[in-house]
Amino acid sequence: MSRQATQFKQFLRLVARWPKDPLKSEDRQLAFHLDQQIQRFKKDPTVFGDDAAVCDKRYAALERIVNNDVFRQYPHNYTSGCFGLNLEKCKAINGESGRQTLGFGRESRWKALWNKLFPKPADYKGK
pLDDT string in tens for the chain (127-residue length): 677 778 888 888 999 999 888 888 888 888 898 888 888 888 887 777 677 888 888 889 999 999 999 889 988 777 777 778 888 888 888 888 888 887 777 677 777 788 888 887 765 555 4
Its pTM stands at 0.60
| 94: exposed, middle or buried (Cβ count in 10 Å: 0-12, 13-18, 19+) | middle
Helices marked H in 2-120: 3-17, 30-43, 52-66, 69-73, 87-94, 96-102, 109-117
Long-range contacts of 62-67 (CB under 8 A, 24+ apart): 62/11, 62/14, 62/34, 63/14, 66/14, 66/17, 66/18, 66/19
